[in-house]
Amino acid sequence: MLILATALCMAPAHAEDGYELWLRYHPLAAEQATIYRSHATQLIIGSATPTQTVTREELQRGLGGMLGRAPPLSDAVTSDGAIVVGTPASSPLIARLRLDTKSLGNEGYLIRSIVVNGRAATVIVGNNDIGVLYGAFHFLRLLQTNHPVDHLDLHDSPRVKVRVLDHWDNLDGSVERGYAGASIWDWFKLPDWPAPRYTDYARTNASIGINGVVLNNANANSQILTPTYLEKVAALANVFRPYGIRVYLSARFSAPIELGGLKTADPFDPQVQRWWRTKADEIYKLIPDFGGFLVKANSEGQPGPRDYGRTHADGANMLADVLAPRGGIVMWRTFVYSQANPDDRAKQAYDEFKPLDGHFRANVLLQVKNGPIDFQPREPFSPLFGAMPKTSLMMEFQITKEYLGFATHLVYLGPLYEEVLSADTMAHGKGSTVAKVIDGSLDNHALTGVAGDANVGSDQNWCGSDFNQANWYVLGRMAWNPTQSSRLIAEDWVRMTFTNDQAFVKPVVDMMMGSREAAVDYMTPLGLHHQMGPGHHYGPAPWDASESEADWRPVYYNRADSDGIGFDRSSTGSDAVAQYAPPIAAQFNDVKQTPEELLLWFHHVPWDYRMRSGQTLWYELVAHYTHGVDDVQQMRETWRHLNGYIDPERYQQAAAFLAIQEKEAQWWRDACIAYFQSLSQRPLPPGFSPPQHSLKYYESLSFRYVPGFSSW
Ligand code: BDP
């Protein structure tokens, strides 16, 4: 009771709406603030450039908010506790310190407790303004997470060069697979009204090291390349520039036809090449630091070079040549499959791109989704990682939870990202992790990247739920350093977003860390995948065969029948396993060696197959579904005990969303068990409750208006 009362006293007085994300800068507890104030007596920082100015503003805002007052600005260190911020070029004081900054590169920083003019000081130093801004955010994070700041000696720099958010935002304001309201880009009012929200968006991204934004949907509308829209894009670029963020655009491959009136978009056609060159000139005139193009070609109805008998490399290189003189890059997506191809969809990206290894220009990044299908709750890593040593591959993760419960399910994606990045491709023997492919170290690539398909919208809390903010956060932190621990990142996030109270932090981090496995269990355990409702992907529909295309149908993926369940991708089936390096291929090819969490991804297995537990597959399937629901009940219980530690607004919304999640987890479990039981013809193992409704009932549910799905 006493603990609860203390917690209540510490809860902030004003209503919280999640807008501040993890940059809340609320007053720290008195004792903590007193300690930190002695390390923030003066602020010495320039304002000669826009980035220096925003760095100064951020430090004043952060320190002012947390400590009750911002340290006064000064020119010289005259007391203990000064904070000295800048680059050797921007600050004569820092230049005199002769710090070794070589290893920091362009975007890195160091933060160190040192003596300046006989006084104890903290220096935040980078080689460039942007590194200093990142350092300032790190310093603020130390205070936000109650870290001691008296003996600092840390330095950091990003391991990945291009760290981008891909927005799937359409020009009409809708967001494909967006569950947080309309697009944040108010195209109609741009360029004249650069809403303050854009600045907060840029601050937020800079705080986690995001340095690029693709503004529009990969299913691109060529209108974005018209002069009218380019002016709007330039206005956004102006807002983002001080924060080290470049804008990129999704380019529709057929734009020369649609906008230029040409008869073709053939990348070999000189007129087409000229059109893109002129377009690039126009863009760079407005946006001198334009990042480049993202392209989805010849996939899901999008135009592309294959329409003209050219390869993906031909298409990508044509655009790359246009952008190269200006320092721009092409991010060319490998999410390519075709219904005209009867082969296993999981194999198609590899089949298309692997033969093109070494054929791409140096300023092309192939953007590869983490798994071979499409952002499922669990997939093996894409076999392209490690298979194209002569090509720069970037990672594409989805932040918006299209297949993981949308905005209302609490699913922290950190463990998913970590699982993929730490997976061993065995491309050059043991230790050839996906992270090493992505950071370029495995095959010596300088151009590297990570993209996250954004979950940001115009909802007041940006992401549709407070816990979804953690997925934006972890994407940025892992893009910066793909070998980080998702648990430590979750802990930082909880402390910054909610409270440093250990009695809250520990259970919430534990809950977040287990949340992805819970979703796997109640949706698609043991390697099942793509069992979601047709088109909109809301809820379970393992029986569904209504989609026009075979490989959009859940039945295509589960292949359940009276004998068993699962997709045979072994050498006796589609042989997708052969796309992996030999030791991995051998492991996945053997049903006994395949990790059980991927069993039904790679094998069609009889219902009575003996699992490692000694139980049958049917038993384990039912047990996993049930476990998933139990886990969500446990999450609710955990949250129930945390009432009072944080503000009532965010507490209650999370509680309500967890209730939705429990209801839907139960629905998933029951619908899937009902359907699979109709095929397995096995009784439910003892101790497991039967589905609440009949299979007919679940099959009868249909949903017309579901968020994020634009073709209603
Ligand atoms: C799938 C989505 C679809 C996207 C596509 C893509 O269902 O809306 O357009 O991926 O990544 O996940 O291009």
Q: What's the mean pLDDT in 343-372?
A: 98
Question: What number does the ligand 1 atom closest to the CA of 168 have?
Answer: 9
Query: What residue ranges in 279-338 does DSSP mark as E strands?
Result: 292-295, 329-333
Count Cβ neighbours within 10 Å for each residue of 37-64 and write b for 16 or more, e otherwise. Answer: bebbbbbbbbeeeebbebbbbbbbebbe
Cα 579 to its chain centre, rounded Å, is 26
CA nearest 208: which of 237, 239, 165, 146?
Answer: 165
* SS (HEC) of 144-185: HCCCCCCCCEEEECCCCCEEEEECCECCCCCECCCCCCCCCC
Domain boundaries, the chain: 2-156, 162-497, 521-567+604-700
Residue 394: pLDDT band by 50, 70, 90 thresholds? very high
Given the residues 58, 374, 419, 466, the one annotated as active site: 374
Q: What's the mean pLDDT in 628-650?
A: 98
Given the residues 107, 169, 402, 439, the one annotated as active site: 402
Q: What's the mean pLDDT in 545-554?
A: 91
13 has pLDDT over 50: no
Q: Please say if 419 is a catalytic residue.
A: no
4 has pLDDT over 50: no
Q: CA-CA distance, 35 to 235, in Å (whole number)?
A: 42
What topology does CATH give the domain 2-156?
Answer: Chitobiase; domain 2 (3.30.379)
Q: Which residue has the tokens 């529009």?
A: 216
CA 190–ligand 1 middle distance (angstroms): 27
Pairing type for strands 109-116 and 119-126 reads antiparallel
**Amino acid in position 363:** N
CA 168–ligand 1 middle distance (angstroms): 9
pLDDT, tens digit, 9 for 90 and up, residues 396-429: 999 999 999 999 999 999 999 999 999 999 999 9
CA 642–ligand 1 middle distance (angstroms): 37
Domain boundaries 521-567+604-700, corresponding CATH code: 3.90.1330.10
CA nearest 531: which of 553, 510, 508?
Answer: 553
User: What local confidence, expressed as pLDDT, does residue 8 receive?
Assistant: 40
Percent of the chain at pLDDT exceeding 90:
96
User: What local confidence, expressed as pLDDT, does residue 9 receive?
Assistant: 39
Judged by DSSP in three states, 424 sits in strand
pLDDT, tens digit, 9 for 90 and up, residues 459-471: 999 999 999 999 9
User: pTM of the entire structure?
Assistant: 0.97
Dmax over Cα atoms in the chain, in whole Å?
81
User: What local confidence, expressed as pLDDT, does residue 1 receive?
Assistant: 36
Dump the DSSP string for 225-253: GSHHHHHHHHHHHHHHGGGT-EEEEE--T
Percent of the chain at pLDDT exceeding 70:
98
Q: CA-CA distance, 125 to 336, in Å (whole number)?
A: 44
CA 486–ligand 1 middle distance (angstroms): 25
At 564, which helix (H) or strand (E)? strand 564-565
10 has pLDDT over 60: no
User: What local confidence, expressed as pLDDT, does residue 15 receive?
Assistant: 82
Pocket of ligand 1 (CB under 6 A): 176-177, 218-219, 296, 335, 374-375, 402
Cβ 518 vs Cβ 496: under 8 Å: no
pLDDT, tens digit, 9 for 90 and up, residues 32-71: 999 999 999 999 999 999 999 999 999 999 999 999 999 9
Superfamily of domain 162-497: Glycosidases (3.20.20.80)
Polymer length of the chain: 712
Alpha helices by DSSP H, listed for 498-567, are 502-523, 554-558
CA atoms within 13 A on the CB side of 644: 13
Residue 266: pLDDT band by 50, 70, 90 thresholds? very high
Q: CA-CA distance, 238 to 522, in Å (whole number)?
A: 45
Structure tokens belonging to residue 381: 């890593």
Given the residues 300, 321, 357, 547, the one annotated as active site: 300
pLDDT, tens digit, 9 for 90 and up, residues 155-181: 999 999 999 999 999 999 999 999 999
Q: CA-CA distance, 667 to 671, in Å (whole number)?
A: 6
Q: Which residue, by CA, sits nearest to atom 2 of ligand 1?
A: 177
Q: Please say if 637 is a catalytic residue.
A: no
User: What local confidence, expressed as pLDDT, does residue 272 receive?
Assistant: 98
pLDDT, tens digit, 9 for 90 and up, residues 310-355: 999 999 999 999 999 999 999 999 999 998 999 999 999 999 999 9
User: What local confidence, expressed as pLDDT, does residue 406 receive?
Assistant: 98
Pairing type for strands 162-166 and 212-214 reads parallel
CA 297–ligand 1 middle distance (angstroms): 12
User: What local confidence, expressed as pLDDT, does residue 3 receive?
Assistant: 42
Residue 14: pLDDT band by 50, 70, 90 thresholds? low
Q: CA-CA distance, 241 to 202, in Å (whole number)?
A: 9
438 has pLDDT over 70: yes
Question: What number does the ligand 1 atom closest to the CA of 375 have?
Answer: 12
The mean predicted confidence, pLDDT, of the chain is 96
93 has pLDDT over 80: yes
Q: Please say if 402 is a catalytic residue.
A: yes
Q: What's the mean pLDDT in 60-87?
A: 97
User: What local confidence, expressed as pLDDT, does residue 712 receive?
Assistant: 43
